[in-house]
Amino acid sequence: MLQNKRIFVIEDNIDNRVVYHLIFVKQGALFEFDRWGTSTVSKIKAFSPVDLIIVDLMLPNGVTGFNIYSEIRGESLFNHVPVIAVSASDPSIAIPKVRDMGFSGFIAKPIDYQQFPKQLEKVLNGESIWYDG
């Protein structure tokens, strides 16, 4: 399903990275992690062409997925790439917010490893997805 899809994941938590890693490896996807920083945009550029960007909403040093989204959308090279939030934040608050900002989807943590690839595939097919877990 996700064979050779290029997915960039902004996630700082090691355990969560392991979860993504195991799923993506099994799915044959190509992926890259980064915690948000000054070099992130250039890293995404280096990883281009990117098919999907996944962002965590609560990052260290007060950085949020909402700030990141604006910066990503400001970059012409990948401003058309779907961005989804995968977060442990309260979905009842986070979903309306990210939807209003223009995210292509929200998946609540903990994720369902069996459903997760199907959900991403929907996004890659141009759908919006809102999973509150």
Partner 1 sequence: MKLQTKLIITFMVIILLVTAQALTVFYFTQQTTQNFEEIVQHSSPAINALDQMNAAEAALVQEVFSYSLKLQLGVLTGISMINNHELQQFQDNWQLMDEGLNEYVTVASETVDSSLTTELRSVSMNVYQRGLTYLSFSTQVNNPELLSEAHTALEEANNDFIEVLQQAVQIESDRLRQLSELSTQSASQSFILNIGSGIALIVTIVTIGFIVVRTVAKPIRTLDVAAKRIAQGDYLQYIKVASNDEIGQMTTTFNAMVDAIRKRDFELSELNKALEQRVIETQEAREQAEKSNHVKSAFLASMSHELRTPLNAILNFSQFVSSGMVGPVNDEQVDLLEKLTMSGKHLLSLINDVLDISKIESGSLQLFVEENINLSEDVKAVIASGQILLKEKPVEIYFDMGSDLPLITGDRRRIRQIMLNLVSNACKFTESGHITVTLRKQEQELIFSVRDTGPGIAQEDHEIIFETFRQSETGMRVGEGTGLGLPISRKLAEAHGGRLWMESHIGEGSTFYVALPIQLVQMPLSV
Stretch that binds partner 1, among 28-36, 60-68, 76-84, 104-112 (CB under 8 A): 104-112
Among 2, 9, 95, 120, binds partner 1 (CB under 8 A): 95
Interaction of residue 102 with partner 1, rule CB under 8 A = no
Residue from 110, 120, 131 nearest 24 by CA: 120
Interaction of residue 65 with partner 1, rule CB under 8 A = no
Structure tokens belonging to residue 29: 């996807």
Query: What angle is formed at CA 89 by the lines to CA 83 and CA 95, rounded to 5 degrees?
Result: 55
**Residues in the site for partner 1, rule: CB under 8 A?**
13, 15-16, 18-19, 22, 26, 58, 87-93, 95-96, 108-111, 113-114, 130, 132-133
